[in-house]
């Protein structure tokens, strides 16, 4: 039957092509293993989060830096003055305000409250207002303050929180960036970006071969690089979808081939690939009288003779099932084990794709094995133009 042979050819092509899927699956496993063991990759992720945290609050962070500087200047200015100087300045201001009040009385204007006026800070410190300070602290996620002392370490508090939040678990990185708190924030960002570039220029072992993290490639005159981290991120999305398509194609094609085999009942007409191994007997190929007698007994349904020969059919089935299971495991196990290694770093979208595709792969594999099981103990007979199985 022509359909049986054509479907068999498709199955064989899929079996051979499965080697590419197996290689891709193993590549993903070794890649995820290498990236998991690569501390530089983790450091890069930490620093990327640190940079994003700074950029998200950059405007408020710059204002906090200014407030903290003004508070320090305000405190330093007051420290420089002796008590006598402070008293002299206060008396001088009182006298100035009294003179102003005399003029205001003559003009019919209300007098200025001397004590309240003396409590006011110089105009250069206008920003050191509790309301203004708390506004910035709120934007940075810090607790409100009851006095202008809230500006004392407002920048440092938020900077330290970013360091501990994003670099937690790496003592060296924490100490390095805690020491940079007094640097301009632009210098901190440049340093972090330079560190990421250094990490990107490193290498990891894939298939026990040193592989650069940034792989160069060119398209015509355009030269660029692709990161192994990006390849891994793409692989966790596309690989499970590819497995669903590939295993689905293999299982449906093989199921159809098994259907034609059961319909035609003539193994000689099937395409000779590794899965088409069955116990079949052609009457014309038998030579000894004992073989012919056994053939005839099985044709008429003799239980004892059938039982003696059934074990060969079982062995053939076990071989086919073993080949299929091995192939399926080689295609799927390395990928899903690799995904398990990076499980904690996956987002909801990745996890949904992974679980849905994994479930579909299980259904596809069970369907394929069920089709093979449908001819579990079958013995195929051919005599002239007659074909049957028991």
Domain layout of the chain by residue ranges: 2-38+228-389, 43-206
CA 332 to chain centre: 18
Q: Name 353's Cβ contacts closer than 8 Å, sequence gap at least 6.
A: 236, 237, 240, 241
Query: Which tens digits make up the pLDDT trace of 68-81?
Result: 777 777 777 666 55
| Token output for 68 | 């903290």
Query: According to the model, what pLDDT value does residue 232 have?
Result: 84
For the sheet with 379-383, list strands across it.
279-282, 379-383, 386-389
User: Looking at residue 331, what is its pLDDT?
Assistant: 96
Among 26, 23, 36, residue whose Cα is nearest residue 229: 36
The answer to whether the beta carbons of residues 138 and 114 sit under 8 Å apart is no
Residue 267 pLDDT more than 50?
yes
More confident residue, 280 or 370: 370
CA distance 139 to 151: 14
Better pLDDT: 258 or 70: 258
Q: What is the pLDDT of residue 342?
A: 84
Give one word for 113, left, alpha or beta, with left for phi > 0 and alpha for psi -120 to 50: beta
Helix-strand-coil split of the chain, %, nearest 5: 75, 10, 20
Mean pLDDT to the nearest integer, 54-64: 82
In the prediction, which pLDDT does 86 show? 60
- Highest mean pLDDT (candidates 50-54, 240-244, 259-263, 373-377): 240-244
Give the pLDDT mean for 225-233. Answer: 78
Q: Give the least confident one: 130-134, 161-165, 339-343.
A: 130-134
Predicted pLDDT at 208: 66
Which pLDDT value is given to residue 346? 82
pLDDT at 343 over 80: yes
Query: Which DSSP symbol is given to 372?
Result: H
The answer to whether 298 and 286 have CB atoms below 8 angstroms apart is no
Residue 365 has pLDDT above 80, yes or no: yes
Alpha helices in 57-152 (DSSP H): 58-80, 83-106, 114-119, 130-139
Smallest CA-to-CA distance from 353 within 248, 243, 236 is with: 236
Where residue 122 falls among pLDDT bands split at 50, 70, 90?
very low
pLDDT digits (tens, 9 = 90+) for 170-210: 788 888 888 888 888 888 899 888 888 877 666 666 666 66
Following DSSP, what letter does each residue of 264-317 receive, concatenated? H--GGGS--STT---EEEEGGG--SHHHHHHHHHHHTT-HHHHHHHHHHHHHHH
Name the β-bridge partners of 388. Answer: 381
At residue 124 the predicted structure's pLDDT band, cuts being 50, 70 and 90, is: very low
Region 266-280 average pLDDT: 87
Helix crossing, 58-80 with 39-56: angle to 10°?
70
Q: What is the dihedral angle through the alpha carbons of 155, 160, 163, 166, rounded to the nearest 10 degrees? A: -90
> What would the mean pLDDT of 35-53 be, rounded to a whole number?
79
- Per-residue pLDDT at 357: 95
- The answer to whether the CB of 15 falls within 8 A of the CB of 283 is no
Give the torsion through C-alpha atoms of 133, 138, 141, 142, to 10 deg: 40
Please report, rounded to a whole number, the percentage of residues in the chain having pLDDT higher than 70: 77
CB-based contacts of 247: which residues, under 8 Å, 6+ apart? 328, 331, 332, 361, 364, 365, 368
What is the chain's mean pLDDT, rounded? 80
The mean pLDDT of 22-28, rounded to a whole number, is 93
Q: Which of 48-57, 150-159, 221-230 has the highest mean pLDDT?
A: 48-57
């Amino acid at each position: 039957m022509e359909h049986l042979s054509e479907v068999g050819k498709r199955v064989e092509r899929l079996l051979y092509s499965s080697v590419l899927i197996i290689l891709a699956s193993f590549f993903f496993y070794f890649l995820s293993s290498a990236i998991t063991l690569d501390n530089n990759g983790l450091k890069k992720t930490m620093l990327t989060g640190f940079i994003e945290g700074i950029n998200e609050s950059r405007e408020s962070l710059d204002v906090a830096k200014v407030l903290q500087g003004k508070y320090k200047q305000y405190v330093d200015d007051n420290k420089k003055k002796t008590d006598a100087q402070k008293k002299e300045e206060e008396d001088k201001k009182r006298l100035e305000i009294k003179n102003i009040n005399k003029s205001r009385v003559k003009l019919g204007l209300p007098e200025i409250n001397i004590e309240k006026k003396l409590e006011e800070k110089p105009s250069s410190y206008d920003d050191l207002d509790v309301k203004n300070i708390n506004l910035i602290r709120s934007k940075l996620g810090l607790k409100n303050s009851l006095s202008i002392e809230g500006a004392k370490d407002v920048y440092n508090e938020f900077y330290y929180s970013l360091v501990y939040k994003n670099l937690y678990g790496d003592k060296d990185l924490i100490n390095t960036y805690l020491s940079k708190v007094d640097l301009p924030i632009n210098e901190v960002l440049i340093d972090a970006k330079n560190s990421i570039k250094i990490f990107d220029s490193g290498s990891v072992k894939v298939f026990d071969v040193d592989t650069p993290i940034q792989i160069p490639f060119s398209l015509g005159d355009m030269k660029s690089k692709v990161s192994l981290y990006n390849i891994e991120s793409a692989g966790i999305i596309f690989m499970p979808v590819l497995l669903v398509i590939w295993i689905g194609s293999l299982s449906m094609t093989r199921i159809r081939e098994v259907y034609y085999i059961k319909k035609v009942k003539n193994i000689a007409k099937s395409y000779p690939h590794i899965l088409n191994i069955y116990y079949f007997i052609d009457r014309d190929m038998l030579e000894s009288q004992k073989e012919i007698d056994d053939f005839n007994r099985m044709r008429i349904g003799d239980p004892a003779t059938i039982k003696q020969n059934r074990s060969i059919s079982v062995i053939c089935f076990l071989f086919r099932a073993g080949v299929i299971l091995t192939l399926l495991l080689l295609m799927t196990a390395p990928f899903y084990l690799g995904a398990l290694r990076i499980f904690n770093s996956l987002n909801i979208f990745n996890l949904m794709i992974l679980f849905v595709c994994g479930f579909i792969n299980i259904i596809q594999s069970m369907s394929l094995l069920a089709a093979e099981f449908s001819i579990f103990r079958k013995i195929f007979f051919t005599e002239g133009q007659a074909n049957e199985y028991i």
